[in-house]
Every structure is written in C-alpha cells, then in structure tokens.
Amino acid sequence: MKLAYWMYAGPAHIGTLRIASSFKNVHAIMHAPLGDDYFNVMRSMLERERDYTPVTASVVDRNVLARGSQEKVVDNIVRKDKEEKPDLIVLTPTCTSSILQEDLHNFVERAQMDSKGDVILADVNHYRANELQAADRTLDQIVQFYLEKARKKGEIGEGKTEKPSVNIIGISTLGFHNQHDGTELKRLMNDLGIEVNEIIPEGASVHNLKNLPRAWFNLVPYREIGLITARYLEQEFDMPYIDISPMGVVETARCLRKIQQVLNAQGAEVDYEEYINNQTLYVSQAAWFSRSIDCQNLTGKKAVVFGDNTHAAAMTKILAREMGIHVVLAGTYCKYDADWFKEQVSEYCDQILISEDNGEIGDAIARIEPSAIFGTQMERHVGKRLNIPCGVIAAPIHIQDFPIGYKPFLGYEGTNQIADLVYNSFTLGMEDHLLEIFGGHDTKEVIHKGISADSDLNWNKEAKAELNKVPGFVRGKVKRNTEKFARERGISEITLEVMYAAKESVGA
C-alpha cells in the first residue's frame, strides 16, 4: 500500500479509452462498477465535446460478483453494436475487473459472432501500466489488428504514395494541446511539400489503417504515445520513423533535418535548409525573441521544470539552450522511461528528479525557490502557495489548458506560443516582486473609496460568526446586501434572523 494524495498519470483504462474515443466510430465498453465512467465527464468537460463520448460501462455489481458477468458483457457489446453501429468495440478491463479474472477473451469471441463491427479486448495490465503506457499499447493493438486483418484479405495499400508522405502518430483526445499540435504539424508538412497520409488516432477511421504502410515515414511527436506503433510499422513494413519532438526552434530544425535525411534516403531529393533558416530567422519570432533585450533580462534566472517526458525535456532544452535560463531542476513523472529523460536533459540542468510523488516535487521547488516553474497543474498550485509564477506545460491539466484559441506547442507557431508562456511567467513574477519592494499599488485607496465596507451597523455575535462561515469570495457581497436590507428597514442590529430574512428577500 502507498499513501497517495495525488497522481500524475491516470490508471491504465483511461489510456485505452483515450485511444478508443479518439478514433471515429469506435466504441469502448468498460467492464467496471458504477461510477467508473468518469472518463465521459472529463472528456465532455475538458474537451467541451459536442458529441456523446462513445464509452459505456457494462456494470459490475453485486450480482456479477456472485455469479460472474455471464451473458451481461456479451449482451452489452451486441446491444451497442446494434444501437451505434460502430466499426470497432474495444472491451476495456478496469482494475476491478482485472481482479475478477473473468475470461473476457471468451466474451469478446462470443460477442464477435453476433456483432457486425469488430470486437477486441484491450490487452493492458492494470497494476503494471499507467495511462500513458496503456494508451501507447492500445494504439499499437488496434493498428496491428487492422493491418493483420487487411493482410489476410490482401487489402494492404500497395506501394508508397507518389509524393513523399507521412503518418502522424499519437495525437489523441485529452492530450495536452494535441488538437492544436495536430493542425500545426499538418501545416508544417504542407510547407515542406509532404502529404499527410494518416493522422492517428485522433479523428481517424479504422478502415483507413490499412493505408498506413503507403506513407514514406512515420512521425511520432510525443514520446509517450505512438512509439510502439511506429516500431511495429518499422519492423513489419520497413517504415522509418522519427521520434524527435519538433518543440522549440532547435529541436524543430533537428526534426526537419531528420525528415530530409529519411526522405532523401528514399530518393526524394529535398533540401529544407533554406526553409529552416527562413523560418528561424524571420518567420518564427522565437529566435529573435532570444536575441532581444527582453530575453536578456531573463539570463541566469532560475527555473524548475516538471512534467511528462516530451514536454519536460523539450522545455528544459528551450529554457537552457534557447533563452539562457538556468534550469536548476528538471524532472519527469514517467518513471518507466526515466533513462531516456536523463539522457535528453542531463547537459541542460543541474539536477534531475524522477518521481511520481507530488510532495517531493513541491519540497524541491520550495528548497530551490526558482523565479518561475514550468510544470503541471499541481506545480501551478505549489507556485501559488509559494508565490512563484508557473507556466503549465504538461498534463495533468484543467479546463483552462484546453484553450479555444490556437495554441500549439509544436512547430514554428509553437515556438512563438512557448516564448509568450515563458516571458509572461517571468515578467509576472518580476512585477510581483517590484510591487512588494514598493509596498503594493499606490492606487488602492482611490479604487476602493466608492465601495467602502465600513458600516455603522452592529452585527451580533452569532451573525458575525455566521458571516465568517460564508466563503471568502462572496462574504463581502453577503455583508453588503444584509446591511442594505437592514438599513432599508431601519434595523440597527444584525442578527441571524436578519441575515436569513435578507437572503430570502428578492435580490439579496
């Protein structure tokens, strides 16, 4: 047992559901107790989804515990097949169902006989994999399933596309700024004259998976999701893949040069140097920002970076290499892939922290006292408590990290967005600092003159105590309204009754 207050990566089934519901017309059925379908709430709220999340539960209740699921799971799969006509149903085990040790494989086989769509069982161990590992695994499983199916039918897309083309692998629902990154990568490929063959899983149809081998190469923008699939495609179809995240100016250039190399090896004869140069110096603002006096002021400032592998590694490099900021500590919660992280960042920071314990990171931040933090929502809250500004760079994230406006982290527009994020975090901290030195805003009194809370009314003890129970952010309003109510009625002492009467009167 482990005492835990918070976790960075979710349980395995969340990863499977993220992949399944990223595809078009794929339905996931969770073998889970009531209340485990919380994924639907997250997707509906965070992504502000207009459509129903294609995830339902085959509920494990007391009866299932006593007698086994028997026909229940099969019935639920067949029913969903009829109702929604999905191309694929993914039966998703949860931590509960994995200890029940029911033969879910058998259920899937039986359900397949009566279903028009395909049915598979997500092959994920709940006690060994987390959300990210499970997502990586499930994507690979679905891709393999359809490529093998196509191979049997002889339907695998023949040969390569005429022009150089790419599969972008790993863009998924509930991923940090994934939607915007997907769009930015498409633009980037378009600029380079590379056709986008398929983007998976987000928005993809399983029917198109058989076309994957037609692309000239695969691009895996995120370290966490897509690598297993890319390796499978390399092994089976001899497709090269590129796993350099194009995040930051230098890394984007590195990614493009690698693409150039991969394409030229297949006879494309492309040269992206001029494009890279032009983008770096004149189009993207990030290189110019690094040179400007704004950024000069950031030189040597201390920062702490924490997040998933992709974003924490890329941010560390950007801060240290492109902006001259002193990254005291860089860390990741992707413990299972820690070696990669260490190798990526070791020359760009003083210390490396690999941990899933938010307390440990909080303590490290408090000890280091950086001028800014780049982390997850958890680090943002640590920052709030310590009065250190924080830019959010990785999941876990809240609704404000699903912006409506265009905010990629990848590609050249991504470099602009990151520059803003970094600069805003630091200047806010600076502003705060100056305010403290000069004793706060000198305009405070003027602003508050009109809405002074001073009053001639007497609050009795109970009422005062009651008022103090009102949450801080509305207390002032309750106080003013109650006093207004009392004044209008010529009441001089405010009691509990007066408070309630004020609340009951319209408009209070």
The catalytic residue positions are 294
Measured from the CB atom, the residue of 62 and 449 that comes closer to other proteins is: 62
Measured from the CB atom, the residue of 2 and 67 that comes closer to other proteins is: 2
Measured from the CB atom, the residue of 193 and 476 that comes closer to other proteins is: 476
Say if residues 251 and 245 touch (Cβ distance below 8 Å).
yes
What count of other Cβ atoms lies within 10 Å of the Cβ of residue 160?
16
Minimum Å distance from CB 503 to other proteins? 5
Measured from the CB atom, the residue of 179 and 279 that comes closer to other proteins is: 179
Instruction: Identify the burial level of 309 via C-beta atoms within 10 angstroms of its C-beta, where 0-12 means exposed, 13-18 middle and 19 or more buried.
Output: buried
4 conformational bin, left if phi > 0, alpha if psi -120 to 50, beta if neither? beta
CA distance 252 to 419: 14
What count of other Cβ atoms lies within 10 Å of the Cβ of residue 114?
14
Minimum Å distance from CB 214 to other proteins? 29
Minimum Å distance from CB 377 to other proteins? 9
Say if residues 286 and 418 touch (Cβ distance below 8 Å).
yes
Say if residues 45 and 31 touch (Cβ distance below 8 Å).
no
Measured from the CB atom, the residue of 40 and 178 that comes closer to other proteins is: 40
Minimum Å distance from CB 137 to other proteins? 16
Please give the DSSP secondary-structure letter assigned to residue 438. Answer: T
Strand partners, 305: 330, 374
Minimum Å distance from CB 225 to other proteins? 18
DSSP 30-80: EEE-TT-THHHHHHHHHS--SSPPSEEEEE--HHHHHH--TTHHHHHHHHH
Reduced to 3 states, what is the DSSP secondary structure of residue 375? strand
Cα torsion angle, 197, 202, 205, 206, sign:
positive
Minimum Å distance from CB 454 to other proteins? 25
Measured from the CB atom, the residue of 50 and 449 that comes closer to other proteins is: 50
Measured from the CB atom, the residue of 4 and 435 that comes closer to other proteins is: 4
Say if residues 218 and 241 touch (Cβ distance below 8 Å).
yes
The two tokens of residue 384 are 């709030």
Minimum Å distance from CB 155 to other proteins? 27
Minimum Å distance from CB 505 to other proteins? 6
DSSP 265-332: HTT-----HHHHHHIIIIISSHHHHHHSHHHHTTTT-EEEEEESHHHHHHHHHIIIIIH--EEEEEEE
Minimum Å distance from CB 167 to other proteins? 27
Measured from the CB atom, the residue of 55 and 491 that comes closer to other proteins is: 55
Strand partners, 459: 494
Measured from the CB atom, the residue of 130 and 141 that comes closer to other proteins is: 130
Residue type, 55: V
Per-residue three-class SS string for 81-102: HHHHCCCEEEEEECHHHHHHCC
- Alpha carbon of 350 to those of 304, 316, 342, 347, 374: distances in Å? 10, 11, 11, 8, 16
Residues forming contacts to other proteins in the complex (CB under 8 A) are 1-7, 10-11, 13-14, 32-38, 40-42, 44-45, 48-53, 56-57, 59-62, 65, 76, 83-84, 94-96, 99-100, 126-128, 130, 378, 381, 396, 398, 462, 466, 469-470, 496-497, 500, 503-506
Strand partners, 166: 196, 217
